Structure formats: C-alpha cells, structure tokens
Amino acid sequence: MQIKQKTLDIKVLVIPQFVLSWLFFCGFFICFVPVIIYVANEIEKTLPDVANLFHHRPAQPLRIYAASEELLAEYGEERREIVSIREFPRALKNAIISIEDAKFYHHRGVDYSGVFRAVVRNIASQENSQGASTITMQVARNMFLSKEKSYIRKIAEIMLAFKIEALFSKDQILEIYVNEIFLGERSYGFAAAASTYFNKSLSELSISESAVLAGLPKAPSAFNPVANYQRAMIRKNYILERMKELNYLNQEEFLQAISEEVKITKRANTRDSSVQFAVEEARKMIYEHYGESTYKEGFDVELTIDTRLQKAAHTELRDGLMRLQKIRGWEGVEGRFNVEEKVLDKKNIEKFLINFPDSGVLKAAVITEVLPNGIVKAMFRNGEVITLFSESGAYSVLELTKSSISRKRRIEKGTVVRVKQHAQNKWVLSQKPHMEGAMIAMDMQSGNILAMTGGFDFSLNNFNHVTQAQRQTGSTFKPFVYGAAIEKGFFPGFIVDDTRRVVKPAQRGSASWAPRNYANNYEGDITIRRAFIRSKNVATVNVMEAAGEDYVRNKALSFGFIPDFHPPGLPLALGAGLTSPMHLTQAFSVFGNNGAMVSPILIKSIRQRNGDLLYKAPDVSVRHQVISERNAFIVDSLLRDVVRSGTARQALRLGREDVAGKTGTSNRSKDLWFSGYAGGIAATTWIGYDDPKSLGAVTGGTIALPVWIKFMEQALSGRPEIQVTVPPEVSLIGGDYIYTEFLEKRTCSNSMSNYVRSPYSCDIK
C-alpha cells in the first residue's frame, strides 16, 4: 500500500540587504558606541591642557661667539633655530604640506579618510603601524604624548588635535611643527636642519633641497641624506612629484628641481681647536650662574676673544712646545701594533689608531716598512701610505731604526709615531710634547681677554693652565720686589752687593741657604737697575732684605697674589711663590697702566635668542689703583731696560720702544716664563711639566720669550707705541730716577743697609 506524502509549500521571508546593513549598524552603534564614549571620557581626564602651548619655550642651545661674531661653539642636546612662520619659505612650506598633510588647511585636525584607511590596513596586516597623523596630530603627539603605538594613544592624539585646532590658527600650529620636529643629527626644526645638512639658512634653500628636508620627518635616520643619500634622493623626487600633483610646482619648476644635483654640505665643526680653552672657560662661567638652563634658554654669548690673535697664540704655543720637545730629545714610540697577530692594512690600522687621535699638524701613523736602504714607510688611519724623510739630529729616522737603539725608542714595523709635513711637503718624524704650556693676552685698558690658550691640545688635556695652574714664578716676581723697595727709598741708581753669601746659616733641622746667580755669575757692587735687568738673584735677595721681608710681601700681596701661596721669607724674592699665568698678566699690566689694575673680561655680553640683553660687560673694566703712578713709571723703565739690554734682548726684533717685560725661570728650570706688555697688550707665556720637573738646560729667555715674541709680532700689528712721560714727583739724578722728596731728605750712603747703599754724597743739593 502506498502512502501519499503531502507536500508543504513554505514561503521563505527575504529581507533586503540594506535592512540587514542598517540592523548591523544599529547593533554595533548600540553595543560599541557607549564603550567608545566611556573610553574617550576616561582618556579626556588624563589629557594635558593644550593652552600650555601658548607658553611653550622650546629648548635652544647655548652659542658662543667671538668678538667678530664668528660662531665658536654650540652646546645643548637639541640644535634648534626658532623661525616665525611669516619668515618660512613658501617652497619648503608647500613641500612639507605635500608629503605630510595635503589637506592641512581644510580639515579640523583629523583627516577621517586617512584614519579609516589606516585602521583597515592595520586590521588587515594585524599590526599597528599605519599612523595617518595630520600635522596637528603630530604636534599633539610630539608635545604631549609618548611614542608608543596603540589605539588608546591614537584616540588621545585625535582628541588633543581637536583641542589644538580649537585654540590655535593653522599657521600657529604649523609654526610649532616646523620648529619642534626632529630631523636627525641633533637637529630640531627645519632651520636647524638646513644649517646641519646644507650649511644654509632657510631663505637660501632651493626647491630640491627643501624637498630633501621635507622628507625627513617620517624617518630621520632612514632618509638622512648624509648616511643614506640615494634613499633620500628617491624620497625627494617623490615629494617633488606630489608638489606638482597639488599644483605647488609648474612643469618648468618641477623639471628644474628634479634635475638639480643636491650637494650635502654639513655645517663645519664649530669646536675650533684653537679656541676650545677660552670657550670652555666661558661655558663654565655661564653654567655657574644659570645651571642647566645654560643649555636650554638659547643664550647667545659674545666673548672678547679676537680670533686672529687666538689662532696666533694657539699656533705659537704649540710650535714652542714642539721645539722644546725636540731639544729634550726622542723619548720613544707611542705604541705598538701587533704585527704577528694582525695584518697591517687600512681596516686594522684605522681601528688601532682610534686610541691615538691626531693633534693639529701632528698625525698619528703606523710604520709599515723599514727597508735595508733606509726607506721607512708609514700608514695613516685613512689608508694613505707615506715615506718618511730623515732629518738630522734627535728625530733622525736613520738613527732611530738601528738595532742598537733600545726597543722603547726604536722605530720598527708596527710602531706608532707622530709625523708632520715639512715645508717642502715632505713627511718628517715628530713627537707629541710631554710638557704643557699657556698663553694669555689681555687689553690693558679695557681688560678684554684677546687670546687664551691653556695647553697644547684641549682634546688631550683640558686642564686650563692659564687659569688653573699655580706655578712658581721665578724671576717674573722680581718687579714686585723692586717696586716695593723703591717705595722704601731704594732707587734704581743705588748700589747693591752682588757677591755670593750665605743668607741663612745652617740650623738644627735645616740647611743653610746661599742663593746663586744664573751660571754662577757674580758682579760685586752694581746698580739696582743692572741687578734687575740682568736678573741677579743674590742682589735681589739683598734688596728685599734691605726693604724688609714683610713690607715687600705685603706690597706684593696688594697685587692680588694669594697669601697662602706666597709664604713669608726671603726665598719669595726669587719667585718661590705660586701664581697662575692669568693673574701674573693682570699684575704685570699694572706697571704699564700707571699703577692701576684692571679686571680681566672674557664674556662681553649674554643675550637670549629673542634679543633680550641679560648681561653686558662695561666698556672699560673696573680699575683700582694698586701703586702710585710714579712707582709704576720707574718699574716700567726697569722692564723696558730688560728688553733693551737685559735678559729679553731678543724682543728688540719687534722694533718698538714700548716693549717691556721680564723673563722667569724657577728652580731647576721647572717653570719657564715671560710676562710683559707693549702697545696696550699685556701677555704671558708659561711652559712646564704638569708634574713639575726639570726641563733641562733652558730658561724663560730661551724658550718662553720666543713664543711671546712671535705672538706679539702679530698682536701689535697696527697698534701705535705707548708713549710715557716722567711724572712730576720723579726727578732724574745721576742718570737714574728718584722720588723728588728724597732729594730734600738727602738720602745718602750712611742711611742704607749693609748690602744696599746710596751713590749720592750726603751734601747733595
């Protein structure tokens, strides 16, 4: 039996697609929008006040300039130059907008289509890399948020962008952006980047160069034109195409820009080696006053330094130290490359010489070959191979390669040596000086420091010997002894005994003291003037003893010498005390300044980059009278005679009548000095080991004085001679000067000490 089934006719309900979409959207809206609102409200509570941007002051570096307004140095983590948007070049502005935010002037902080595309791409790639940040959003992120990539941060970025757009105009937002964005090489903002990569101001940039800079914000390292030139050029071309698409460039401008060869010209290193001691001294002075703000407030500091004289001081001091080192002889190689384990090639030598930096004209090199015929070859860190020319004397390569030479001193394959280029372009052996030095020059009227070189090489030893070194003054202290004695009535024409004697007999616990003259040369009875210009030690001790030890010391201390460094006693007469080259220069200037002391000035002015003047040094330094004009006049006459016929006769080559100064050599030639003045410039040269020891059979006159002369040859160019007149209280009698009132007192031989006497008879009228 067949059973007949009944078929049911069921009609399927068909819902239109738009209805389904609408239902899905409503469900999504109902479920997720409250969540989004809640999250947004929570984020809102943590957002900073964007109104703070009105008061934002970007960190700007400290810049130090010479008196000629030449930039000497820049300090600060962020290199930045603030530029008003009104001064911003149109081409660069268009390039930035073309690549970073083409709709910048049309949206209200957020490009919704860009955000949507970024979200879709991030979901598809399961990453969080697509930013879609407008310029306003970048400002929000750079100024207020971290670099973390998350949706929460992106929401915060969008919310801040809305707030910024509500408070600031588009140009204000763009101005913040172009001055704050990091563009590599410590450069923040496009003005700094233009200087860093092209050594140009913004107004000097070409369209093509502008496109290079506009390509940096996305990835400053990847598109750095120094490190990745080809990649930077590809991005530059893409930006130029975008500018053309957006009608910022016409066809002719585009073709010209795309065909231009972009040359990267990095800004020169502002740390000129010749000025580093002066610059560092100024930096420390500013930091003591302003602390960490020194590197953030955009201070422009003008120094009194004359760059021409600074370079001269730097060069002459270095040359003098190298000459002295050559006199001292060859002291051995600096290091040894292990030729048994490594190949002497460019890569290995470059790596090895990292610990042997070049120093000016002195280049480090590794000996690569010593041939039987006497030819010696060496390689620089850049792979260049040179042949050493053998000079005669201490630096004879032929002598120093002999097997009989001790290994410490022997030049052989793998040894590290210093070489410099000879006048005939030949490379010769040299040596880094083991001793140090200082050179300081000051304008005697204004107190302006014109040059300051505190050592051979700041990068090797940054101890500033001009200001920090306290060294025995030797005979440069004698002017202060004789000046005090003159005040006591012991004038240059008086007679002093220059016979060697025991000044201090031996006592229990101490040896006797019998000062000696240089080269054991004694002259018996001589005038005080001759004793001074010939730098006689015994006679000087006798003069100090006659005038009174305490009296002379107290008079000397009035020049500002530190009491603890100048203990009482007759050895003080011979420069047993300690002082710095800076202070000795200041003290010497008193004799050429009518008895007045001026305070040295290094910093001329401090301004903020907005132009506000924070400090200005006086046009003429603070002066105070240390000694009388007549006392200064007579001591000045003694110092001039040192040059005319004394220990500084070499200085006659300057061809001037106003050159005055004093040589100085401390005990066992541990310190070599010359301090003096001419043409209104006071200057001092000092040379010695940091750990005091003998420099050998040399004196201040043979080593320090030539450095001083060569510097002054350049410093005195164009300066008139200083004329002096005899003060009214000074009389000339017997061919020398005396205070007029002493004639009335009839100072004569029976009123003097055992070792100093007047040459005038007691019935003098």
End-to-end Cα separation, the chain, in angstroms: 177
Q: What burial class does residue 588 get, using C-beta atoms within 10 Å of its C-beta: 0-12 exposed, 13-18 middle, 19+ buried?
A: buried
329/749 Cα distance (integer angstroms): 52
C-alpha 340, offset from chain centre: 41
Q: What burial class does residue 291 get, using C-beta atoms within 10 Å of its C-beta: 0-12 exposed, 13-18 middle, 19+ buried?
A: exposed
626/629 Cα distance (integer angstroms): 9
Task: Give, as one character, the DSSP assignment of residue 297.
Answer: B
Q: Is residue 475 annotated as part of the catalytic site, yes or no?
A: yes
Task: Give the chain's count of helices (H) and strands (E).
Answer: 22, 27
Q: Which residue has the tokens 């001269």?
A: 312
- Annotated catalytic residue, options 81, 98, 100, 195: 100
C-alpha 289, offset from chain centre: 19
547 contacts 486 by C-beta, under 8 angstroms: no
| List of E strands, 138-265 | 187-188
Residue 317, token pair as written in the block? 């001091």
Residues 6+ apart with CB under 8 A from 13: none
In 3-state terms, what secondary structure has residue 173? helix
Phi, psi of 336 (to 5 degrees): -140, 130
- What b-and-e string marks burial along 678-704, b requiring 16 or more CB atoms within 10 Å of the CB? bbbbbbbbbbbeeeeeebeebbbbbbb
The torsion region of residue 518 among left (phi > 0), alpha (psi -120 to 50) and beta comes to beta
**Four-CA torsion 132, 136, 138, 139, nearest 10 degrees:** -170
Q: Which residue has the tokens 């791409």?
A: 121
496/49 Cα distance (integer angstroms): 83
- Annotated catalytic residue, options 475, 535, 589, 621: 475
Tell me the one-letter amino acid at 344.
L
Among 83, 88, 82, 90, smallest CA distance to 207 is for 90
Radius of gyration for the alpha carbons in the chain, expressed in angstroms and rounded: 38
360 contacts 398 by C-beta, under 8 angstroms: no
Q: What burial class does residue 528 get, using C-beta atoms within 10 Å of its C-beta: 0-12 exposed, 13-18 middle, 19+ buried?
A: buried
Report in angstroms the alpha-carbon separations of 370 from 330, 387, 388, 391, 430.
18, 10, 10, 16, 17
Q: Which residue has the tokens 């001083």?
A: 708
* Residues involved in catalysis: 100, 475
